[in-house]
Amino acid sequence: MMKCIALCSLLILAGCATKQTDSDSIASLLASGSFVDLTYTFNEQTVYWPTAEGFEFEFGTAGETPGGFYYEAHSYRGAEHGGTHLDAPIHFFRDRQTVDQIPVANLIGAAVVVDVSTDVSDDPDYQIRPGDLLAWEEMNGRIPEGSILLFRTGFGQFWPDRASYLGTDERGSEAVAKLHFPGIHPEAAQWIVNNRKIAAVGIDTASLDRGQSTLFESHQVLFEQNIPGFENVANLEALPAAGSFVMALPMKIDKGSGAPLRIVAWIPDTN
């Protein structure tokens, strides 16, 4: 954990560093750990909500130019909420932060990973409750203030098979009622805001709320407090319960309710 704090300090200093020794110190610290990409690649297989437009890649141009150099450029489009992405608080609560208003401090920090995959294996509609958080703390200590709280349900193993990952591969509004995947129970969301001060919440499913939710109450509880959410987070099985450091940087969309997210974790070498 101390290495994570040190890394954070060094990254802040790096923005105004002018001495070679600062760069050397950062490089040395990073070399004593490893990075994990927590982002799914965006392509035609990317999972989106049944009512959202999927990712589209339009080939533009590629090849040698009359000037003799190679040039390539293309276009893409897609809904805010799909693939590995950020939910801004405005997504489910009026007058809260949009994507461009979220402080960077809420997107970078020490990570806590609560693993409920064993429970989910017996119940795909499992809801994470306060007891899961308390059980984590019994094993690992109190969730540190300012942490990025990540929930591993194990559903990442199904990506990008829509039928297994979402519970249905149908599209359109009628498909929403057929969604089945785990999520955060509203009681757990309320426990978090009442008892712990966290920077952001993430999960390896398509929504912070379970697939069968109709009111999205966990979104509402968290977003009222301007706690952003990360959805469809990849590779959480590669992270320890505590001790990693997450950087989750979305496309900075003006007035956006969500945005594609590039999220990575750094795990310090414990040897």
Instruction: Sketch the domain layout of the chain as residue ranges.
Output: 1-31, 37-56+68-268
Q: What is the pLDDT of residues 129-144, one digit of tens each?
A: 999 999 999 999 999 9
Amino acid at 5: I
Question: Does the pLDDT at position 3 exceed 50?
Answer: no
Backbone angles phi, psi at 222, to 5 degrees: -70, -45
For residues 184 and 87, give the distance between their C-alpha atoms in angstroms, rounded to a whole number: 15
For residues 86 and 79, give the distance between their C-alpha atoms in angstroms, rounded to a whole number: 12
Question: Does the pLDDT at position 258 exceed 70?
Answer: yes
The angle at the Cα of 206, spanning 136 to 231, to the nearest 5 degrees, equals 60
Closest CA to 99 of 88, 108, 83: 88
Please state which of the ranges 2-6, 18-22, 56-60, 171-175 shows the lowest mean pLDDT: 2-6
For residues 94 and 165, give the distance between their C-alpha atoms in angstroms, rounded to a whole number: 30
More confident residue, 216 or 2: 216
**Residues 6+ away with beta carbon under 8 Å from 43:** 55, 57
| CATH of span 37-56+68-268 | 3.50.30.50
Give the residues across from 61 on adjacent strands. 73
Residue linked to tokens 């020490």: 110
Give the total residue count for the chain: 271
Q: What is the pLDDT of residues 120-132, one digit of tens each?
A: 988 999 999 999 9
* High-pLDDT (> 70) share of the chain, %: 89
